[in-house]
């Protein structure tokens, strides 16, 4: 038999695929349970914010029309809310879409994108699809970014550095003084992308809000998402704030119309619910504290989380732990050989997970 014709890039074979959280309906069916609990995708468990379903339904009435490609109304609201000018904002199909656009807007094949590892699993995929090279700096023993080592790893080829703060999947966060020091050493022609997908869950006052602390730096871009605290994961919308030239370049390479009318309408409705978002985040934070302390009785070295998930550094036990939780109807996110990420759910969901964890360990 002859080999099939190769139509796609051979180097992509070595690239791990993005792993979405398992579908809870499938697991429930498999186990014969009425439902399964999903703590695998860092969603907030309290449903869409009030007003969002109605706004999306209204937008659906115009679904035969293209959305506003300039996303003008939403960018104006975001600009007002975050105290920046509209020309510094771009929206995308999730902040992961924007991350990809930033890579596309900054890199040519042979250029380097630097990030800490383990971090968000989409980063290596984004870098590879751009044709740039990934340069990874190992996390510290405490599971956080090693910013000094990252600064030392910048080369002539580095075009972009990703700082995931708080870091997915470990929940650790870099603090103001170390980030100040790091940014002072990064050359002005290297773009630093501070990915703050979990900003709303940060409670440590030493962890800077990058928009406030570094928003005026021309080589800093801050990524935010409406998928987590704002409850719009299914609508796929995130935004970036950066220098006007960077935002304009991103808007140029963005997939046309990728911020759908439903996403724009849902985001406008969600942004009117800031008080409810704060209330929900406080619930998540209080459960995060409870989960962390209960888990520390079972697993040594659970790092402090500033996000809506906790990291269990279980090493070789990770895959077995994930499988054992599934047998109890709880879906978590194992990273085989490294650890397990568990999203903070409702108190009942967290209790079910803790029972599963106690029995698994």
Ligand X SMILES: Cc1ncc(COP(=O)(O)O)c(C=O)c1O
Site residues (vs ligand X, CB under 6 A): 42, 94-96, 120, 164, 168, 195, 197, 225, 227, 233, 238
Residue 245 CA to chain centroid, in angstroms? 24
How near is the Cβ of 225 to ligand X at its closest, in Å? 3
- Comparison of 119 and 317: residue with beta carbon closer to ligand X: 119
- Comparison of 247 and 354: residue with beta carbon closer to ligand X: 247
- Comparison of 24 and 94: residue with beta carbon closer to ligand X: 94
| HSE toward the beta carbon, residue 103, CA cutoff 13 A | 28
Token pair for 135: 């340069």
Distances 324 to 37, 288, 346, 358 between C-alpha atoms, Å? 13, 22, 20, 10
Token pair for 252: 């140029």
How near is the Cβ of 140 to ligand X at its closest, in Å? 18
Q: Which residue is nearest to ligand X (CB)?
A: 94
- Comparison of 98 and 330: residue with beta carbon closer to ligand X: 98
Q: Which helix (H) or strand (E) holds 342?
A: strand 339-343
How near is the Cβ of 120 to ligand X at its closest, in Å? 4
The answer, yes or no, to whether the previous bond of 217 is cis (omega within 30 of 0) is no
Q: Exposure of 25 by Cβ count < 10 A (0-12 exposed, 13-18 middle, 19+ buried)?
A: exposed
How near is the Cβ of 233 to ligand X at its closest, in Å? 6
How near is the Cβ of 333 to ligand X at its closest, in Å? 10
Cβ neighbours, 10 Å, residue 322:
24
- Comparison of 168 and 219: residue with beta carbon closer to ligand X: 168
């Amino acid at each position: 038999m002859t080999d099939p014709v190769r139509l796609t890039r051979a180097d992509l074979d070595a690239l791990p695929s993005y792993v979405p959280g398992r579908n809870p309906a499938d697991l429930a069916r498999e186990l014969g349970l009425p439902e399964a609990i999903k703590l695998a995708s860092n969603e907030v468990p309290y449903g869409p914010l009030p007003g969002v379903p109605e706004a999306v339904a209204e937008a659906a009435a115009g679904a035969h029309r293209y959305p506003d490609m300039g996303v003008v109304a939403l960018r104006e609201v975001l600009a007002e809310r975050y105290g920046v000018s509209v020309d510094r904002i771009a929206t995308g199909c999730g902040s992961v879409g924007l991350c990809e656009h930033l890579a596309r807007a900054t890199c040519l094949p042979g250029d380097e994108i630097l990030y800490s590892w383990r971090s968000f699993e989409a980063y290596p995929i984004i870098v590879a699809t751009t044709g740039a090279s990934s340069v990874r700096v190992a996390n510290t023993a405490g599971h956080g970014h090693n910013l000094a080592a990252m600064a030392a790893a910048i080369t002539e080829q580095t075009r972009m550095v990703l700082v995931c703060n708080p870091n997915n999947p470990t929940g650790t966060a870099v603090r103001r003084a170390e980030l100040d020091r790091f940014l002072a050493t990064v050359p002005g022609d290297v773009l630093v992308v501070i990915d703050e997908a979990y900003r709303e869950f940060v409670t440590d006052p030493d962890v800077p809000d990058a928009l406030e602390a570094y928003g005026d730096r021309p080589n800093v871009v801050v990524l935010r998402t409406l998928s987590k605290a704002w409850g719009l994961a299914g609508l796929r919308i995130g935004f970036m704030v950066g220098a006007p030239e960077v935002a304009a370049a991103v808007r140029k390479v963005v997939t046309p119309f990728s911020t759908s009318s439903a996403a724009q309408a849902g985001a406008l409705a969600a942004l009117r619910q800031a008080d409810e978002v704060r209330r929900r985040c406080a619930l998540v934070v209080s459960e995060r504290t409870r989960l962390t302390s209960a888990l520390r009785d079972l697993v040594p070295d659970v790092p402090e989380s500033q996000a809506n998930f906790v990291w269990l550094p279980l090493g070789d036990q990770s895959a077995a732990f994930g499988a054992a939780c599934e047998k109890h109807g709880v879906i978590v996110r194992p990273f085989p050989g490294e650890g397990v990420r568990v999203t903070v759910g409702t108190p009942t969901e967290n209790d079910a997970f803790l029972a599963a964890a106690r029995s698994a360990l």
